[in-house]
Amino acid sequence: MKMKCYICEKGELKRKTVPYKLYGELIGNFPAEVCGECGEVFFDEETSKQITEATKAKGLWGMGSRTKIGQAGTTLDIRLPKKIIEFLKLKKGEEVSIYPESKNRLVIEV
């Protein structure tokens, strides 16, 4: 019996090996069910565990973080966690571009 996509409910799921990236870094290629209609990718529980282990091995696990807005004089600042600084190879005094993508998303480009 062919499985229908859990998201679009139109396409059939086909077994494929797909690349998995996190933060633009290739974690590896993993088996998945892929919808032929919408392209949604589904990993089983065992594959999800393998992806988590590979992510941890590459030092990318737990990269997301919360921080608070601070103040320096009359301007506001945002402190970056050490893991993100190291991942992006940021240096003090380095110039970055910053712009709002929407009312609740701020983009910083290195």
Quick one: CA dihedral 26, 32, 52, 104, positive or negative? positive
Phi first, then psi: what are they for 46, rounded to 5°?
-65, -40
pLDDT tens digit sequence for 21-74: 999 999 999 999 999 999 999 999 999 999 999 999 999 998 888 999 999 999
CA distance 31 to 81: 33
pLDDT tens digit sequence for 94-108: 999 999 999 999 999
